[in-house]
């Protein structure tokens, strides 16, 4: 009977140790959970304020949606508490088809690309600024970005340039909302890559949309294209072939 008693004592000791360990882990988990919940609460407050400002703009435009209270187009934090993510699977299909339609319209209405001269094309290798100041340069560079699946960077930059030309306050607010949905929202298939600091600036600016709402984001995307895509463009076969064709082209009469 003695071995049985020892086994019983050991078992009781193990149970107490296991319970103590579980209590410690459970307490830590609850603490971490409360901190995350508080963080999510603060994030959601920022997004709700941004969404509210745009809903007011929509109301002034006379097209407030019936389910405006559930709008969540400004959610970029990817927090699991966000209600929009619970229906993300269904919304992505709608968002994708809508964006593809807008993209097609943008492509059809984008600036005409004049044929560059040899001098113009050669100047693109001097600096990225020369590319962006040339209508033909922007068009050729955009075609190159399309081959790298990063055309949205140029589309966003061009959209910001158009926004800066607008002076009507109501139109500005609508264009700001459209740019956000097309290029900033995590639900968009054409979301551009921005760091958290710039995203915070955008969300603050969305409370009072202006033609300068995306200035910081536009500059960051410009720098990204300059440092990342531009060197590859200059060294690409696309640019080399363009120069060759221009050199071999007969002089215009």
Quick: pLDDT tens for 137-174.
Answer: 999 999 999 999 999 999 999 999 999 999 999 999 99
For the chain, percent of residues with pLDDT exceeding 90: 52
The answer, yes or no, to whether residue 21 has pLDDT greater than 70, is: no
Does this model's pTM top 0.85? no
- The whole-number pLDDT of residue 67 equals 40
Domains defined along the chain, listed by start? 87-248 (1.10.167.10)
Residue 15, pLDDT > 80, answer: no
How far apart are the C-alpha atoms of 19 and 25, rounded to whole Å?
10
Q: Report the distance separating Cα 122 and Cα 190, nearest Å.
A: 31
Residue among 102, 112, 101, 92 nearest 179 (CA): 102
| DSSP label at residue 80 | T
Measured CA to CA, the distance from residue 182 to residue 27 in angstroms comes to: 43
Residue 82: predicted pLDDT: 45
Tokens of 242: 């363009």
Residue 70 has a pLDDT of 41
Question: Which pLDDT score is estimated for 115?
Answer: 86
Q: What pLDDT shows up at residue 35?
A: 54
């Amino acid at each position: 009977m003695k071995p049985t008693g020892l086994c019983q004592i050991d078992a009781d000791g193990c149970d107490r140790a296991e319970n103590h360990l579980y209590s410690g882990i459970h307490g830590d988990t609850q603490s971490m959970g409360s901190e995350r919940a508080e963080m999510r609460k603060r994030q959601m407050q920022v997004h709700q304020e941004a969404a509210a400002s745009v809903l007011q703009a929509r109301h002034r435009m006379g097209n407030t949606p019936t389910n405006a209270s559930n709008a969540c187009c400004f959610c970029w934090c990817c927090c699991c508490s966000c209600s929009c993510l619970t229906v993300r699977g269904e919304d992505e299909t709608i968002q994708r088809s809508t964006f593809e339609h807008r993209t097609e319209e943008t492509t059809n209405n984008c600036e005409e690309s004049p044929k560059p001269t040899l001098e113009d094309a050669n100047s693109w290798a001097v600096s990225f600024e020369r590319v962006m100041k040339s209508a033909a340069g922007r068009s050729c560079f955009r075609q190159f970005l399309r081959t790298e699946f990063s055309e949205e960077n140029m589309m966003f930059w061009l959209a910001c340039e158009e926004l800066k030309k607008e002076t009507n306050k109501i139109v500005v607010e609508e264009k700001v909302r459209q740019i956000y949905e097309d290029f900033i929202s995590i639900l968009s298939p054409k979301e551009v890559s921005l760091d958290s600091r710039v995203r915070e600036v955008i969300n603050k600016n969305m409370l009072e949309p202006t033609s300068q709402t995306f200035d910081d984001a536009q500059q960051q995307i410009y720098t990204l294209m300059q440092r990342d895509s531009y060197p590859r463009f200059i060294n690409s076969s696309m640019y080399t072939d363009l120069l060759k064709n221009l050199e071999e082209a007969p002089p215009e009469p």
